Every structure is written in C-alpha cells, then in structure tokens.
Amino acid sequence: MTGTNPLNGPAAPGGKATSAPLLGRDTEPTLFELSHPGRRAWSFRTTGIPELNIEELLPAEHVRSEPVPLAEVSERDLVAHFTRLSHRQFSVDLGAYPLGSCTMKYNPKVCDAVAALPGLAGVHPAAPASLTQGWLALMVEVEETLCEITGMAAATLQPAAGASGELTGLLLMRAWHQAQGAPRHKVIIPDSSHGTNPASVTLGGYEVVTVPSDARGCVDMEALASVLDEDVAGIMLTNPNTLGLFEEDIAEIAAAVHKVGGLLYYDGANLNAILGVVRPGDMGFDIVHMNLHKTFATPHGGGGPGAGPVAVSERLVPYLPGPRPERVEDGAEGKPTYRWFTPERSIGRMHSWHGNTLVLARALAYILVNGGDGLQKVAEIAVLNANWIRQRLSGTFDVPFDRQCMHEVVLSSRNLKQAHGVRALDIAKRLLEEGFHSPTVYFPLIVEEALMIEPTETESPQTLEALAQALEQIAYEANALPTGSMTEAPRNTPVRRVDEARAARTLIPTFDARGEKQA
C-alpha cells in the first residue's frame, strides 16, 4: 500500500480508489478499506421526529463543514468483518489457556446469564438505596461470602482489579499505622513476587525491600529476619507463591512480622489453589485481595472487566473505603433492609461508584453453584492437574523446584537453550501452532527460561494429555531440527511472529499502520 483513502478503500498509486480489497485467511481489510460511499447498515425509514435545524442548536463555529469521515459499510459486511476477526482470536471458549499465575478458567455461561438479568443489568449506580435493595442485598452477600472463604472480618468491593486491590491494601496499611502514631516506610516482598507488588508498593509511597527465595523456592527465613525492624509496615505475599509452591513457614513469617508491628498482605492471585482447604485469615494475614476474574471464573479484560475486593481483619475494618453496603434489621416487620454507610476512618473511595458490580454478580453465582464442597474440589483438581503436568514433563524440560506444587508449575527450557539455542519464547510461539495458548514465559524472574503453566481445574485429562504431547513434540523438534528452525514459529496463525520489542517501542495504533510502515 502506498496510500489510503479512508472512505473509499485503498488508493492506487495514481490516486484513484481501487476495487474492494481481497479477503483471505491471512488478511482482513479494515472497515475503512471495505467502505463505499452511500452504504449503510440497517436503520428506520423514518423516526417521525421533525428535522431539526442544527444552526439553532449549536453555534456556527462548532458545526463541522464536512461529515465525520466514518466508514460506510452495509450491515452484512459489518457483521462478516467482526465475525471473521473473532475467528482469528484465541479465547477460553476455544481451548486450553495455561497462562501461569493468571488462572484463565472457562467462564460458565450460567453466570453470564445471571449478570444479564434486567433487574441487575438495568439499574443505574446512582439510584438511591430505597430503589436498589436487591442490589445491596447481593453485595452484602458477596462480602459475607468472600469473608467466609478468606477468614476475614469485612471487605470492600470497590477495587476494579487486582492492582487496584493492591493499592487499596497498601493505603489501608498506611492509614492503620498512621492511626497508631507510628508511620512506617518499608514493605517487604519476595524476589519471586508478581511485578505489580513492587509497583504498588512504590505507588503507595513505600520503599521496596526484597527478600530472596531459599533452595526450596520459599521465603528465606534468615534473610527475612535480617530486614525486619520497626520501620517495616508489612509484607506482601501470595500463598502458594508464584513458583506454585506453598509457603510452609507462613505461621512463622506471620509471627515474625507481627512481632515488629507489621501487617501481612495476601496477594490473592493464587487463591484458586486453596479454596475450601485453608484460609489466609487463619494463616495470619491482615489484608487479603481477591481476583474475582481469576478465582471465581468471571471474564478477564474486555469481557469483564475485573474485580479485586479487599478483605481485612477486625482491626482494619474502620478504615475500609466507603460507602459500603450494610444490612439493617427492621424491628417493625422483622425484615432486613439495606443502606450505604461510610466507616468512621475510611480511606475514601477507590471507585467512582460501587465496583464492577456485574462481575460481583457473576462471582456470587459461581460460588453458589459450586457450594463449599464444590469450591474445595475446584482447588483439589487444579492442584492435581498441575502436578500431573509436572510429572509428565519432568525430563522433557528442567523442573527447577521438582517437588509437589500447587495449582501451577514452573518449568524451564534452559536445557534446550544450552543445547540448541531454543528459548522459552520459541517454545511458546510454537505451541500456538498446536491450538493452545502459550504459557507464561520468563516469569518468575528468578527462573531462567521459565515456562509457567497453570492448567486450572476446568481442563479435562484429555486436554492435559494433548497439551503434554504438544510440548513433548516441540521439545523433540528442538533437539532434532537444525538450529534456528524454531525461531520461525508460529507459521499457521493469522499473524506470524512479530518483533515484540519493536512493537512496544514504535507502536503505530492506526488502521493504516501497514501503509505507513511500507511508505
């Protein structure tokens, strides 16, 4: 392409619009390229509304002299375009999504149906409590259920995702220490932590203090003891940790941090591994954030968005963000009513409204459908699946911490890199050709050429077998094919291998980026 007419399709070198671009498996025109003057999608012949004089409504200087240059396409072309694009994507509805540390589960459609009920989806968040009693009752039930699952006293439902929950927890930590008359300046994190942890600590105004992992992949207790002092506000941990290993010394860690007056923050990214088996509150944690879009199978990203409620122990309840929903017993009729209230020492709002409430509704539906025994089975099968993968692929790939893992396992392709120059990235790209989403790569950072696999409980033994066979085949090719062959993958996907570094540094997010690149 040497140029583009945004309304009439790609322009030929002579400046005249060419015929409609050809459709193919490897190409998909933009709507601008499909555009043709005068085409419209379906519309009413007439609305019955008298034609308005725009000059009477808007000052002349604010009225465009030309129409907005939007694509003009028929409904048929419009639907076909987006349907074809959807077929070029991968999702949890298409196949296994073993993205370690992300808990990419299949999302049950019954939960989507619940969230789509008109009585939930059609309510404006500014409606008064007297007209939204059902919503407030649902939110109170969500809070009480999450507190029961985590062993905490109360929770805020406002945080919009996990990182928002982290910041909320750190602000709660700060508020509590300030109320004690002893502000602190340091927060401890393990070297295997999620990248959001040090980022949130910094955003919360604290200094990051990193402690290393020991030979078993857990917090090094001697190193922890050496940095604990009365300037430590708390420690951020996930348990199991990001190596997929349970922190066996968690009771001792809690006692040591509490002894110097610090608080324990639980990163709930890996909560799926312990549902119904053990609770963070019973381990000694004071603050717990939960990723509802992970543990409770609600859609991630554009299909969600996320939700990151934060639950706290009794002493932190007065600091929770407000307003919060509250149940009030009506003495006259004996029926509960609900209201909004703000705790006396609240840190303020963390969301412009009340949180991503339709995600909360989906999560509650998931919890109620499974029940307590079902949630425990979720955790047990997730752990079983991860350990099956670990055992099956041990020997094909390195296993840096070859002992029982929890819901995810960290493998390493350093054996293939040393022998044939094949990197974790090459393996991940090659796996796309087999119909699987790639695992997480190069994380945790402390594992060389890391391949982090979290199969979740939603994948069947047949799917796990197919995934294992695909990874074994890739490892065989890495050993058998000429050096450099793996760098060509993926070869059968709509978009082949891209230069991630260049894409991030010189991103051109426009429809005609291809033309600009070639110009």
Domain range annotation of the chain: 1-88, 125-368, 372-505
Residue pair 299/270 in contact (Cβ under 8 Å)? The answer is no
- What is the pTM assigned to this prediction? 0.87
pLDDT at 517: 46
- pLDDT of res. 2: 31
Per-residue confidence (pLDDT) for residue 227, from 0 to 100 = 98
What is the rounded CA–CA span in Å between residue 273 and residue 240?
7
Q: How far is CA 33 from CA 82, 432, 510, in A?
A: 14, 29, 13
Strands of the sheet with 263-268, listed across from one edge? 154-156, 310-312, 287-290, 263-268, 232-237, 186-190, 207-211
CA distances from 469 to 434, 464, 491 (A): 10, 9, 19
Alpha-carbon Rg for the chain, nearest whole angstrom, is 27
Question: Chain centroid to CA 13: how far?
Answer: 45
Alpha-helix runs per DSSP H in 394-496 = 414-420, 424-432, 461-480
Residues 6+ apart with CB under 8 A from 115: 121, 358, 359, 361, 362, 365
287 contact partners, CB below 8 Å, separation of at least 6: 169, 172, 173, 234, 263, 264, 265, 266, 310, 311, 312, 313, 316
- Among 392, 467, 404, which Cα is nearest to 430's? 467
Do 189 and 210 contact (CB within 8 A), yes or no?
Answer: yes
Query: What pLDDT is stored for residue 10 in this prediction?
Result: 39
- How long, in residues, is the chain? 519
Tokens of 221: 């207790």
Distances (CA, A) of 139 to 142, 172, 324, 406, 414: 5, 21, 9, 31, 47
Give the per-residue pLDDT at 13.
35
Helix residue ranges per DSSP H, 236-356:
250-259, 280-283, 292-295
Q: Domain 125-368, CATH 3.40.640.10 — does that match?
A: yes
User: What angle is formed at CA 443 by the lines to CA 85 and CA 465, rounded to 5 degrees?
Assistant: 65
Interior/surface letters 49-71, b for 16+ CB within 10 angstroms, e for the rest: eeeeeeeeeeeeeeeeeeeeeeb
For residue range 3-27, what is the model confidence (pLDDT) as tens digits?
333 333 333 333 334 444 555 556 7
Judge whether 179 and 317 are in contact, CB under 8 Å. Answer: no
Q: Provide the CA 61 distance to its chain's centre, in angstroms.
A: 45
CATH, domain range 372-505: 3.90.1150.10
Q: Check the CA dihedral 515-89-437-161 and report its sign.
A: positive
| 408 vs 386: CA distance, rounded Å | 5
Give the per-residue pLDDT at 12.
33
Q: How much is the pLDDT for 308?
A: 94
pLDDT 10s digits, 429-474 = 999 999 999 999 999 999 999 999 999 999 999 999 999 999 999 9
Which residues of the chain have a pLDDT value below 50?
1-20, 516-519
H-assigned helices in 49-195: 54-57, 75-87, 109-115, 118-121, 133-150, 162-179
